[in-house]
Amino acid sequence: MWKLRALPFTIIIILLAGFICFAEQSPAAAPPYNGFFDGSIVHVINIEISEEDWQDLKDNAVEKRKYEVSAIIDGERFEEVVLSAKGNASLSRVAAMGSDRYNFKLNFNKHDKDRTYYGLDKMKLANMYNDPSYMRDYLSYRIISEAGGYAPLASNVWVTINGEDFGLYLAVEEIDKSWLSRTQNNKGKLYKPDPAWVDSSNKVPGLTLKDAKALEYFLTKRAFFGNDDAGADLLYSDENPESYSAIFDNAVVKANEDDQIRLVQSLKGLKEQSNLSSVLNTSEVIRYFAGHNFTMNYDSYTGITAHNYYLYEEKGILSMAAWDYNDGFGLLISALHPELTMTDIVNWGIDTPLCDVELLQRPMWAWIVENDDYLQEYHAAMGELLGKYFQSGRFIREIDEVYHLIRPYVYKDPTRFYSTDRFEREVESMKAFCIKRAESIQRQLDGALSADTMAQEAEAKVDASDVVISH
């Protein structure tokens, strides 16, 4: 038997010194983008723009014209930054309201590909339109990240224009080349599929809209949605890359013919489901859906629009990343289906997460629920999310921290869309929604409540009648 022998004192000192030296030479990895997205403070961005350009932007925001500005971020100046308004339906709606509080995009390397904000190419400044809580996007990205899916980084920022207070925004990492660098070592291809789905007769195929408000909501999208999904549903139709214009016309990283053919073959493999691990990062996609399906966002792949997600491909392997959740937490589904109570929505089955669209039209989800092993893995991912983020109390602590962090800025926000009373109520509703959603999902995982929405018994549902999520 081997026996430990005492080491001479001098050797111990040498080894200890070597360990200390090694520890000093191996510091923890620096946070991405100089820690801008750490979330512990409200950062400050002052945009310096000529009065002429600022007026032109306000007058012509829907055209998304680009303007060269200076951006002073937490006191550090960055020159030759390009500012533009951002958005589609929301952009038009804000303009129609007579407000200047648009979503913005800051592009740091438009004129020089080597110039970035500490490695960040672009950031979105989200205006909190449709969100009295100021939290939907932020919390959605946190939930999806906690589930193990891909989501952008985000941080609250106080925006000033030429030194004048403008408002509290959410800065969001653009899922772009810098995201590829941060998460994928600059490898692979990236797409942001956007479909075309409203026909020329103003009808929404396959959807019964229950009231004029919901109909108006969708018809405002006609300006940027066309006639069909064109591949945004990730449904394989044929070998021709031109059949997938919603994907390839929205390539973030330039895709050549070989890239297109490879992705189409991956979609074919997804349809056939013969060897899914050869065309999908199955674990990542499952974790993406675990977080996404918690948030109840239907302006997305699981709703009729089949957009607001990114598609990542490397060597024929596909995965997804989250984007734009201001219609989440039951907001859009309640507008589309006012006959549903909040109790119905909070208890929506995790195995039947689609709304107003058939399972066969969403192959990126269908393979999970159609295979017992993958469905079990999905349930395990859901259970892990509940345990470590919600049942542990971390969610409550985090939402309270964010609330106390942003509250003074909400109260002094000169361009806010909502009253401070609405903000206070909505934060409480967001908290209640998530706690009750977590409780319902746990019941579904335990078998006390069906994970199939249509098979649920009313008495087994979590009561969410006191929850109000609003525009």
- What are the boundaries of each domain within the chain? 34-176, 189-388
Q: What share of the chain is helix, strand, coil (3-state, %, to 5)?
A: 45, 15, 40
pLDDT at res. 214: 45
- CA dist 462 and 442 (Å) reads 10
Average confidence (pLDDT) over 36-54: 97
Rg (CA), the chain: 24
pLDDT at res. 196: 60
Percent of the chain whose pLDDT exceeds 70: 87
Better-predicted residue by pLDDT, 296 or 222? 296
The answer, yes or no, to whether residue 265 has pLDDT greater than 60, is yes
pLDDT at res. 133: 97
One-letter amino acid of 308: N
| DSSP labels, 194-210 | ------TTS--TT----
Average pLDDT of every residue of the chain: 89
Average confidence (pLDDT) over 83-89: 89
In whole angstroms, how far apart are CA 320 and each of 138, 163, 189, 300, 458? 18, 39, 12, 12, 34
Average confidence (pLDDT) over 216-223: 45
The answer, yes or no, to whether residue 198 has pLDDT greater than 60, is no
Alpha carbon 353 to its chain's center:
17
Question: Taking the model in full, what pTM does it have?
Answer: 0.89
pLDDT at res. 399: 97
| DSSP labels, 101-170 | --EEEEESSSS-TT--BTTB-EEEEE--TT-TTS-HHHHHHHHHHHHT-B---EEEEEEEETTEEEEEEE
pLDDT at res. 28: 58
Alpha carbon 6 to its chain's center:
57
pLDDT at res. 470: 76
The answer, yes or no, to whether residue 45 has pLDDT greater than 70, is yes
| 303-355 residue pLDDT tens | 988 999 999 999 999 999 999 999 999 999 998 899 999 999 999 999 999 99
| 362-386 residue pLDDT tens | 999 999 999 999 999 999 999 999 9
Average confidence (pLDDT) over 398-427: 97
Average confidence (pLDDT) over 409-430: 97
Percent of the chain whose pLDDT exceeds 90: 79
| 6-32 residue pLDDT tens | 444 443 333 344 433 333 344 456 789
- At residue 228 the predicted structure's pLDDT band, cuts being 50, 70 and 90, is low
- At residue 110 the predicted structure's pLDDT band, cuts being 50, 70 and 90, is confident
Average confidence (pLDDT) over 262-279: 96
Secondary structure class of 233 (helix, strand, coil): coil
Tokens of 37: 């997205």
- CA dist 469 and 467 (Å) reads 7
- At residue 220 the predicted structure's pLDDT band, cuts being 50, 70 and 90, is very low
For the ranges 118-132, 185-199, 248-262, the lowest mean pLDDT is seen at 185-199
Name residue, tokens 């899922």. 175
Determine the Cα angle at 357 with ends 351 and 363, to 5°: 65
pLDDT at res. 24: 39
The answer, yes or no, to whether residue 59 has pLDDT greater than 90, is yes
Better-predicted residue by pLDDT, 97 or 384? 384
Secondary structure class of 311 (helix, strand, coil): strand
The answer, yes or no, to whether residue 202 has pLDDT greater than 50, is no
